[in-house]
A and B are shown apart, each in its own frame.
Chain A
């Protein structure tokens, strides 16, 4: 055993190289790729119950999927994801080296390095699950563990059994195993016919598993996802930015969201969506909405099956913050369905929260009982199931902001939703800022003035309007040719008035690119 292990570990140089590469991976994951781990942690609802565990047998690769999903739930904790994934890659490295050494392959180190390198690259894709890495390791390890050399007939018998077993345990790992067996057959060249038949038969039989697993052949043989390759590093980093900003927001790190976006030169819609939401929760949406242009509020589009996944992903956060529980539930359900297993732990948590706020106790308890079996949300759910008053407090407080109009909504225009929220609760400042900013970003000045007069006049009575709104009023009042006496009611800052006069003389000049006037004249509306 010791000699076998030492032969696997082999040269110290190889160990060093491998260790350095894994350390580099760890550093990269920690420094640049944390968002992906948090995203993957959410993409499941792993329940530690026998009946849930039993569901893993309804698909190939139950062992790697079970182990992978079990470990993935710990990705929720900062640094746990990188450590687990690097450990899995180390497992791949060891198994690859053991398998290749078994094969007697030349250029052993180079081939092992290639496998580890390739797998490391694949992990950059957000759809590459930990179970995929474990499936590869499983296929390699099983090959290494098989008794072979010198006994071709025994090898034939073993491979007949090993390939289906490997498929059952490790899914596409069986294809890796089959490839290695084929290589071994071709290299050994003894009783080739027998061994090739013994290889072809179980591989062909795997096709029949389709009936058992009710899957298409390609996805079944590649289960749980053999090869998701990042096509463009820039795209991967963009997606990572989205994951990271979403994660920080969900952790409640609003300052970090703001810092992260302010420090970035190239913003994504998702980043700006969370940025605006974070600033709105601080009561600073009017100050922030035009800071990074073109901005993205998320209120100019509509929720539906065609809405991009990343947008839907965050919609429940927006409507949760605004207080519209119907749309929050709808968005949470939709993003949960768009999740790989249709079960997203954070969205299920949101569903529980929505029902706690609306007072639908039966439904809330349904979700809480589910979450009670999870590692991450279990304690939180248990407290709420016990109706712990401290745990319930934020939801009771939230209840005052919900929409109290009880009617069938005939559109899903955010403007209508925001209006309804303000009709129910005129003090809903977040909804008011979103309403006015939505009007402005849609360049609908008439609607802006109407909405301000309807909902905003009281909110700012006796106080100066935010600069953005004053700038908008400059435009609106000048379009309306309002008498000079009316201007100070809305544009109380003389500097803004003076700057507007200057803008009117140099309309569209880049010196005014930070103003609403410039946006109104020069920019396209983002939906």
Chain B
């Protein structure tokens, strides 16, 4: 009751509209920085507050360039009415929303410069995002979990958390082109295995074989759903001394295998199972090529500076399950003295998003990692300066209509990855990304101790039977896979 009374008092104290405003020739110091971002219509309300959470009162007026307006006030942040917000964004799709922010400080109203939020004509119809949230731990996991989040409101629900499978680590929830009915996931620890779920039916594989030496991770689906490419790798980390980057993550070996779900066979092509380190596979939109990164073997961690990944593509025939006889190098890491990793082709076949960093095949630990775009028709590269930051930007993934990209960035504090969404137009231009909206973003992100990783869009809500998952993990029963060496 006391709390409610206090809230009511604060709200009441905030009601008067700004009068005798004093103009300030600066953009409002809002968190998150939504000034100039491009959003899809129907996204969750872009609530924001003033940095520091110290404002006496904020008054916000939103006016669409096409029509409609919205007014909101708050003591420390503004919460926009979801229905009004959705109507406003829908009405202004292809236009902009002008945001006027006034702040009351010391009894005086200050009015900052207006800024615009652009509403893209391109929709984002996907239900939301799936991602992993993990407390920082370097070599130990903690209470990690895979969550799904609706993009049109603030609903977040856990798919699987450590409390359901104590002591296990799970990662890389990967859906087939955002399809919630087809996904794969890796559980590590006691009773670990590779889960492939299609239409609610779980199949658990043991993808670790003597030849591959490790279970599958960093998965990617063939668009037809028959094949899933995995990486069999041994990942390690070493710590830096000094003030800069905290860790270097490296792989002692890494190869790509493809699971044929129809025959429960692991296809091991000798071109993808070499002494080099092949990593981050991704099938092209038509399923006729497999993009991947590869680097020459070197003595890591001593030679960590030498890990330079090239971006390659190899033909794939889904009918026969065979790869082409040679792989093409799209971008050469050693030649360009950098590393090209995490290829993610857009589902319309037009673009190839990838991450570029000065070295390494694990870009999330590289502060200079940036997302780039390749026009698959012309081979032209786009640097996406609007999208990238001076901190790590990685894990790009596409919406089903290939117009939106979600990625993980450490730009807020240099340590914790947060999710950002940007649009990409038909010319390969990205817009300024916006931070995944939250009801009270300042509080939410400041209190959140977890980092996000492996974000991906999902077209509808994912359903995972946690009991069945637990039973499968505890039983240890796995569908055996046959290793089929090709060539």
Contacts and interface: CB of A to CB of B under 8 A. Distances in A.
A285 to B, nearest CB: 23
A45 B449 CA distance: 10
A50 B77 CA distance: 14
A408 B304 CA distance: 8
Contacts of A9: none
A211 interface: yes
Nearest to A53: B3
B136 A333 contact: yes
A465 to B, nearest CB: 29
B435 to A, nearest CB: 14
B54 to A, nearest CB: 11
A410 B241 contact: no
B446 A369 contact: yes
A366 B446 contact: yes
A337 interface: yes
A210 B137 contact: no
B241 A405 contact: yes
B166 A334 contact: no
Contacts of B243: 325, 358-360, 402, 404, 406
B393 to A, nearest CB: 15
Contact of A408 (B301, B447, B449): B301
A373 B143 contact: no
A337 B135 contact: yes
A56 interface: no
A54 to B, nearest CB: 10
Contacts of A406: 240-244
A147 interface: no
A337 B246 contact: no
B229 to A, nearest CB: 29
Interface in B425-475: 440, 443-444, 446-447, 449, 466-467, 470
Interface string A358-386: 11101101100110010000000000000
Given A211-B466, A213-B163, A408-B238, A337 B137 contact: yes
Interface stretch (B91-99, B274-282, B345-353, B412-420): B412-420
Nearest to A215: B163
B141 interface: yes
B138 A333 contact: yes
A187 B302 CA distance: 74
A348 B446 CA distance: 13
* B contact patch SS: loop
Interface string A328-366: 011001101110011100001000000000111011011
Interface in A219-243: 219
A337 B142 contact: yes
Contacts of A305: 139-140
Contacts of B143: 341-342
B140 A407 contact: no
B375 to A, nearest CB: 35
Interface string B283-327: 000000000000000000110100000000000000000000000
Interface string B164-177: 10100000000000
B160 interface: yes
Interface residues of B, number: 41
B443 A407 contact: no
B399 to A, nearest CB: 28
B242 A51 contact: no
B200 interface: no
A211 B467 contact: yes
A98 interface: no
Given A213-B163, A216-B166, A369-B446, A403 B140 contact: no
B6 to A, nearest CB: 11
Given A49-B443, A362-B413, A330 B466 contact: no
B400 interface: no
B161 interface: yes
A210 B467 contact: yes
Contacts of A362: 412-415
Interface string A394-425: 00000000111111111010000100100000
Given A49-B447, A51-B443, A410-B301, A334 B138 contact: yes
A342 B135 contact: yes
A337 B449 CA distance: 11
A451 B143 CA distance: 43
Contacts of A120: none
A410 B244 contact: no
Contact of A214 (B135, B160, B444): B160
Contacts of B413: 362-363, 365-366
A334 B136 CA distance: 8
A410 B238 contact: yes
Nearest to B163: A215
B248 interface: yes
A52 interface: yes
* Most chain B beta-carbon contacts within 10 A, residue among A327, A337, A410: A337
Nearest to B144: A342
A330 B239 contact: yes
B67 interface: no
Contact of B137 (A334, A358, A359, A420): A334
Contacts of B440: 51
B135 A408 contact: no
B158 interface: yes
Interface string B233-265: 000001111111010100000000000000000
A338 B167 CA distance: 12
A331 to B, nearest CB: 10
A408 to B, nearest CB: 5
Contacts of A214: 158, 160-161, 163-164, 466
Contacts of B447: 47, 49, 51-52, 370, 373
Nearest to B7: A50
A104 interface: no
Interface string B132-154: 00011111111100000000000
A363 B304 CA distance: 26
B163 A333 contact: no
Contacts of A402: 243
A268 interface: no
A407 B238 CA distance: 10
Nearest to B161: A214
B241 A403 contact: yes
Nearest to A357: B243
B154 to A, nearest CB: 11
Nearest to A52: B447
B238 A409 contact: yes
A87 B302 CA distance: 58
Contacts of A47: 447
Nearest to A399: B243
A370 B446 contact: yes
A357 B397 CA distance: 36
Given A342-B143, A370-B446, A370-B447, A420 B138 contact: no
A376 B142 CA distance: 24
B50 to A, nearest CB: 14
A407 B240 contact: yes
A418 to B, nearest CB: 12
A215 to B, nearest CB: 5
Contact of B415 (A213, A324, A366): A366
Given A211-B466, A406-B241, A366 B416 contact: yes
A324 B246 CA distance: 12
A97 B467 CA distance: 40
Nearest to A372: B446
Contacts of A348: 449
Nearest to B304: A408
Interface in A80-104: none
A-B pairs with the 5 shortest C-beta distances?
A: A406-B242, A337-B137, A337-B142, A342-B142, A342-B135
10 contacts: A49-B447, A210-B466, A305-B140, A324-B241, A327-B239, A330-B239, A337-B137, A337-B140, A406-B243, A407-B241
Interface of B: 135-143, 158, 160-161, 163-164, 166, 238-244, 246, 248, 301-302, 304, 412-416, 440, 443-444, 446-447, 449, 466-467, 470
